[in-house]
């Protein structure tokens, strides 16, 4: 590009960015025309694969009885570790895990080993799904069982401190938090527990694999990142990257579980290879619970030291959680505890115990969500103990800069979030004493908590093709998780091109499109919007170059830098009347279309790409080199009604105020915040997957028994945004909003429960049995 791209300015280009545009894919979805990954049914000779999974959690396969299953009509093959083609590479070591986008250091069906209940042990392929399902039911797998370990709570479990978890050291220290706590005038110590949670996307994991030639594989997969899945499949199957095409046009929710290449994604192409036909493999709802990870069960002990005025002095945090036999995986709860307040000293230790379970994985706001539960409940305790309003306490400890590295924030509007939220909620009417308000038989309480989520560095490409008739095709190999990516990028492209949104067609979810990173960690909106905006700039620069060199253009002879785009026209910045429609320039040059390409960067890589790209730096060093700490912030307020005899907790009111840079579309952003909050309310009050302590197998792996909130559990919700101008985060000034909304939700509910009852419930979910227990304790 000839000129430095401008930061996107809505004043300069008034249009649809920031408007509550309806979903551009809404019509296709409600009419059933949107094609999801399990709906490519017209592939030639398509057959259906059903996974047969292990009943037991540990053991060795001693044999298969395939007689009855093979007799069933339509059965094409029964594949086991004895006859399934082997992948050339599997994530079985730290090295391979680093290159493969697979979070689990184990691949099933390579041998007779069984390490978790629900592990695939065979694949039945048949002409119809029903035939495959029934034959799989008749297939007998003999497994010599061994005694499993069910969780970190199992007396047989051995606890250890790992070297690191997810890139964070097993033990980290900033200052001397132990000493700070020991000498603090006010000391709080509390332990928080969190049940196993599952993502439960509406659309289960599904992979359709089609070998179009021995060196040409197309996979329709439910993935949050087609590019990552493409690279991983290529490596595992011994193909070049370009020989694999991955397509994900629509996704029915991801929440982190579809961010990775789980075993079934590789088993489908292996099965397709074995039977020489396209194979569709869809996880059953039950298999979803042991097929794509989960949020691990965990407990945290937080020791908080403060002055008598409520100033934080130090926090010592310990987390204990279950991991798989192969991986040192834990959500990094310590991140948010370390950075959320002006905290002089912090220490965190992770304890793990290996159990007979699959590896847990990223689940909406991994780490920050459970971390905020411990921190924000403890802050609430401190506020009550010192008689300070919970918001005042947070303002007293407001971090004006990032306490972990001393850097300024690229933008931070948390104070405004507190203020706006308090106004919308009516917080000033709060009774400072708990247990004071009744509504009939129920106890009423108000609670609040802070939300925050980091900006993760991310980059990717986009292409914009502007046609001479004023229409455009915009492309990026991104994924829309169902959250509105199609819509917001259409809006950005419309404004960047000066066209109405109906003239834009945005294509995503295919590796034949410009590659971009996955939609995870709240990066998609910030990355894809800026790459599309910059690709549109590239189109304009090409047109401007043409115009100023064209004797027949009113802009002939002008400096490129003096020309701008305005409402579909090329015009002089200083004298907008001088200019012409871009269509005129293209007509004279006999151009049917003009194409622009760009790489968009999100996070500290936006301003400091060279420093951030330095391979010798770790993530923290890169961010430090960039000079700014980047986070979205927000605040939740809620009212709960507790029935002290029946043990029920119902949320009656909710207010969330978020600041996340420029809000591209307040309607889809609001839906994101509502969705995240409901996810959190579920975790707070009802969601838990229960593993039998002896069998290490889930006892409630379906949506009848794993409760997620129903409409009747959710009140009207008020969502508002604080406008933020952040020129550091990316060219669009956008921060992601996918994860932040769940952060702080469980604490806000628990804090409201405390306000209602005078009892602190530190174990999630807060089901009636725990509520009755808590209410038996003295206030």
Catalytic residue among 228, 296, 608, 739: 739
Query: Helix or strand or coil: residue 610?
Result: helix
Helix axes 368-386, 745-757, angle to 10 degrees: 30
- H-helix or E-strand containing 121? strand 120-126
Of the pair 685, 750, the CB lying nearest other proteins is at 685
- H-helix or E-strand containing 709? none
- Residues 6+ away with beta carbon under 8 Å from 440: none
Q: Least distance in Å: CB of 748 to other proteins?
A: 18
Q: Least distance in Å: CB of 148 to other proteins?
A: 13
Q: Least distance in Å: CB of 66 to other proteins?
A: 17
For residues 142 and 61, the answer to whether their CB atoms sit within 8 Å is yes
* Residue 352, phi then psi, degrees to nearest 5: -125, 155
CA-based R_g, the chain, Å? 27
For residues 632 and 737, the answer to whether their CB atoms sit within 8 Å is yes
* Residue that has been written with the tokens 């002896």 in this structure: 694
Q: Least distance in Å: CB of 381 to other proteins?
A: 25
* Residue 568, phi then psi, degrees to nearest 5: 80, 5
Question: What is the sign, positive or negative, of the torsion defined by CA atoms of 460, 465, 466, 472?
Answer: negative
Preceding peptide of 23 cis, ω within 30°: no
Q: Least distance in Å: CB of 193 to other proteins?
A: 15
Classify strands 472-475 and 504-507 as parallel, antiparallel or unpaired. Answer: parallel
Of the pair 117, 462, the CB lying nearest other proteins is at 117
Of the pair 617, 714, the CB lying nearest other proteins is at 714
Of the pair 131, 420, the CB lying nearest other proteins is at 131
Locate 181 and state its tokens.
């706590």
Locate 24 and state its tokens.
């551009």
For residues 373 and 380, the answer to whether their CB atoms sit within 8 Å is no
Of the pair 240, 712, the CB lying nearest other proteins is at 712
Residues at the interface with other proteins (CB under 8 A)? 55-56, 117, 130, 133-134, 137, 286, 441, 645-648, 650, 685-686, 690, 692-695, 697-702, 704-705, 707, 709-713, 765, 767-769, 772-773
Candidates 537, 534, 539, 541; CA nearest to 462 is 534
Q: Least distance in Å: CB of 92 to other proteins?
A: 27
Q: Distance between CA atoms of 634 and 414, rounded to whole angstroms?
A: 6
Q: Least distance in Å: CB of 707 to other proteins?
A: 5
Of the pair 611, 703, the CB lying nearest other proteins is at 703
The b/e string for 565-601 (b: 16+ C-beta within 10 A; e otherwise) is: beeebbbbeeeeeebbebbbbbeeeebeebebbbbbb
Q: Least distance in Å: CB of 756 to other proteins?
A: 17
Q: Least distance in Å: CB of 380 to other proteins?
A: 24
Please tell me the total number of residues recorded for the chain in this structure: 779
Of the pair 552, 705, the CB lying nearest other proteins is at 705
Of the pair 83, 777, the CB lying nearest other proteins is at 777
Q: Would you list the DSSP string of 162-198? A: -SEETTEESEEEES-HHHHHHT-SEEEEEEEEE-BB-
Q: Distance between CA atoms of 471 and 490, rounded to whole angstroms?
A: 12
Locate 206 and state its tokens.
């599904």
* Residue that has been written with the tokens 């041998």 in this structure: 111
- Residues 6+ away with beta carbon under 8 Å from 267: 49, 51, 84, 108, 109, 120, 123, 207, 281
Q: Least distance in Å: CB of 688 to other proteins?
A: 9
**Does the annotation count 739 as an active-site position?**
yes
Of the pair 401, 707, the CB lying nearest other proteins is at 707
Q: Distance between CA atoms of 659 and 746, rounded to whole angstroms?
A: 19
- Residues 6+ away with beta carbon under 8 Å from 198: 257, 288, 289, 294, 295, 363, 687, 689, 706
Q: Distance between CA atoms of 333 and 301, rounded to whole angstroms?
A: 11
Q: Least distance in Å: CB of 773 to other proteins?
A: 7
The b/e string for 21-34 (b: 16+ C-beta within 10 A; e otherwise) is: bebbbeeeeeeeeb
- H-helix or E-strand containing 226? helix 226-237
Helix axes 745-757, 768-776, angle to 10 degrees: 40
Of the pair 148, 634, the CB lying nearest other proteins is at 148
Q: Distance between CA atoms of 322 and 22, rounded to whole angstroms?
A: 42
Of the pair 110, 646, the CB lying nearest other proteins is at 646
Of the pair 466, 685, the CB lying nearest other proteins is at 685
Catalytically active residues are 739
């Amino acid at each position: 590009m000839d000129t430095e791209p401008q930061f996107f300015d809505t004043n300069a280009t008034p249009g649809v960015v920031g408007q509550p545009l309806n979903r551009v894919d809404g019509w296709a979805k409600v009419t059933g025309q949107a094609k999801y990954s399990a709906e490519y049914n017209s592939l030639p000779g398509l057959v259906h694969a059903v996974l047969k999974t292990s009943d037991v959690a540990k053991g060795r396969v001693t044999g298969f009885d395939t007689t009855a299953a093979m007799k069933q009509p339509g059965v094409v093959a029964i594949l086991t570790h004895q006859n399934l083609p082997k992948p050339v590479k599997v994530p079985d070591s730290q090295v391979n895990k680093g290159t493969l986008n697979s979070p689990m250091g184990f691949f099933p069906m390579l041998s007779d080993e069984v390490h978790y209940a629900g592990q695939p042990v065979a694949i039945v392929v048949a002409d119809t799904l029903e035939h495959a399902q029934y034959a799989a039911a008749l297939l007998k797998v003999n497994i010599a069982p061994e005694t499993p370990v069910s969780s970190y709570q199992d007396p047989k479990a051995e606890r250890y401190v790992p070297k690191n978890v997810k890139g964070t050291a097993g033990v980290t220290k900033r200052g001397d938090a132990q000493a700070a706590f020991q000498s603090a005038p006010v000391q709080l110590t509390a332990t928080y527990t969190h049940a196993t949670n599952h993502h439960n996307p509406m659309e289960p994991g599904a992979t359709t694999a089609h070998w179009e030639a021995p060196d040409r594989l197309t996979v329709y997969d439910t993935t949050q990142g087609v590019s990552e899945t493409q690279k991983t499949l290529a490596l595992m199957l011994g193909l070049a990257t370009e020989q694999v095409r991955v397509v994900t046009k629509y996704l029915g929710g991801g929440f982190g579980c579809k961010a990775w290449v789980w075993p079934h994604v590789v088993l489908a192409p292996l099965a397709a290879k074995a039977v020489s036909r396209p194979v569709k493999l869809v996880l059953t709802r039950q298999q979803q619970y042991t097929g794509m990870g989960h949020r691990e069960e965990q407990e945290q002990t937080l020791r908080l030291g403060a002055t008598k005025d409520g100033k934080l002095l130090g926090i010592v945090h310990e987390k204990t959680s279950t991991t798989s036999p192969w991986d040192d995986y834990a959500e990094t709860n310590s991140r948010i505890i370390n950075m959320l307040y002006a905290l002089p000293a912090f220490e965190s230790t992770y304890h793990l115990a290996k159990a007979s379970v699959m590896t847990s994985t990223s689940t909406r706001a991994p780490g920050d969500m459970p971390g905020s539960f411990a921190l924000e409940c403890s802050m609430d305790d401190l506020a009550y103990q010192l008689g300070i309003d919970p918001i005042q306490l947070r303002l007293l400890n407001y971090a004006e800069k990032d306490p972990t590295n001393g850097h300024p924030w690229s933008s931070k509007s948390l104070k405004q979030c507190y203020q706006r939220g308090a106004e919308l909620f009516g917080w000033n009417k709060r009774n400072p004493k708990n247990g004071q308000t009744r509504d009939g038989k129920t106890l009423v309480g108000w609670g609040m908590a802070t939300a925050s989520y980091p900006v993760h560095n991310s980059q990717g490409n986009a292409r914009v093709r502007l046609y001479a008739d004023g229409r455009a095709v915009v492309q990026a190999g991104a994924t829309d998780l169902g959250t509105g990516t199609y819509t917001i990028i259409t809006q950005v492209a419309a404004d960047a091109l000066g066209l109405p949104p109906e003239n834009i067609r945005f294509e995503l979810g295919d590796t034949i499109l410009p590659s971009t990173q996955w939609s995870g960690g709240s990066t998609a909106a910030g990355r894809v919007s800026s790459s599309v905006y910059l690709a549109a700039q590239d189109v304009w620069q090409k047109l401007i170059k043409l115009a100023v060199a064209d004797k027949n253009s009113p802009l002939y002879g002008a400096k490129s830098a003096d020309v701008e785009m305005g409402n579909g026209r090329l015009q002089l910045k200083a004298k907008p009347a001088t200019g012409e429609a871009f269509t005129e320039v293209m007509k004279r040059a006999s151009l049917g279309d003009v194409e622009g390409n760009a790489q968009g960067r999100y996070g500290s890589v936006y301003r400091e790409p060279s420093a951030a790209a330095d391979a010798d730096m770790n993530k923290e060093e890169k961010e430090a080199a960039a000079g700014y700490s980047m986070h979205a912030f927000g605040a939740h307020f809620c009212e709960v009604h507790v029935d002290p005899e029946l043990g029920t907790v119902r949320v009656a009111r909710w207010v969330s105020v978020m600041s996340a840079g420029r809000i591209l579309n307040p309607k889809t952003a609001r839906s994101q915040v509502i969705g995240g909050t409901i996810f959190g309310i579920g975790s707070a009050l009802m969601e838990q997957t229960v593993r039998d302590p002896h069998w290490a197998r889930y006892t409630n792996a379906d949506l009848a028994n794993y409760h997620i909130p129903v409409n009747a559990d959710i009140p009207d919700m008020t969502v508002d945004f604080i406008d933020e101008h952040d020129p550091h985060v990316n060219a669009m000034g956008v921060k992601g909003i996918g994860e932040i909304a769940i952060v702080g939700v469980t604490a806000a509910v628990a804090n409201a429960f405390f306000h209602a009852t005078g009892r602190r419930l530190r174990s999630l979910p807060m089901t009636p049995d725990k509520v009755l227990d808590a209410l038996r304790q003295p206030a």
